[in-house]
Amino acid sequence: MSTPESKGSPVHVESQDHLEQLVSEHDVVLVDFHADWCGPCKMLEPTVEEIAAETDALVLKVDIDELQELARDEGVRSVPTLQFYQGGEQAKRVIGVQDKDDLLDIIDELSN
């Protein structure tokens, strides 16, 4: 079953339940915890959008100002924070602006 919340562009997470549902329904998920006021987040945004378009990983965006409780529960202390999930479980976390190739390597690793 294909949903509009599938591949191609990042999906805006609306709640903890929404995040859990999407993570459990997809093999590899990249979650970008970001904020509108965050300069490094804005620098990383085009990379995250390209990864959504170019890979089979589902890419999610979590605005830490909108979902403060979710960010706190996930232990996000700085942005951008990127969390990778595989098979519904958190597999890796990186903090700060990252090189696209490094992020693609993580996705490849989790996809195999």
Q: How far is CA 55 from CA 29, 34, 49, 107, in A?
A: 10, 20, 10, 8
> What pLDDT is attached to residue 7?
61
Residue 53 domain boundaries: 11-105
In a domain, 92, yes or no: yes
In a domain, 83, yes or no: yes
In a domain, 79, yes or no: yes
**Residues designated catalytic:** 38, 41
d(CA 71, CA 76): 5
> What pLDDT is attached to residue 2?
36
Q: Into how many domains does the chain fold?
A: 1
In a domain, 1, yes or no: no
CATH code of the domain covering residue 91: 3.40.30.10
Binned average pLDDT, 10 residues per bin, the chain of 112 residues: 58 97 97 97 97 96 97 96 97 97 97 89
